[in-house]
Amino acid sequence: MIRIAIAAVLALASSLALANNCPNEWKAIDAALPKAKLDAKQTEEVKKLRAEGEKLHKEGKHSESMATLGKAKKILKI
Q: What DSSP string runs through 17-60?
A: HHHHHHHHHHHHHHHHGGG----HHHHHHHHHHHHHHHHHHHTT
Q: How confident is the model at residue 10, as a pLDDT?
A: 52
Q: How confident is the model at residue 24, as a pLDDT?
A: 95
Better pLDDT: 4 or 28? 28
pTM for the structure as a whole: 0.75
Q: How confident is the model at residue 16, as a pLDDT?
A: 47
State the Cα–Cα distance between residues 9 and 33, nearest whole angstrom. 37
**Tens-place pLDDT, residues 5-60:** 565 555 555 554 545 689 999 999 999 999 999 999 999 999 999 999 999 999 99
Q: How confident is the model at residue 60, as a pLDDT?
A: 92
**The residue type at 26:** W
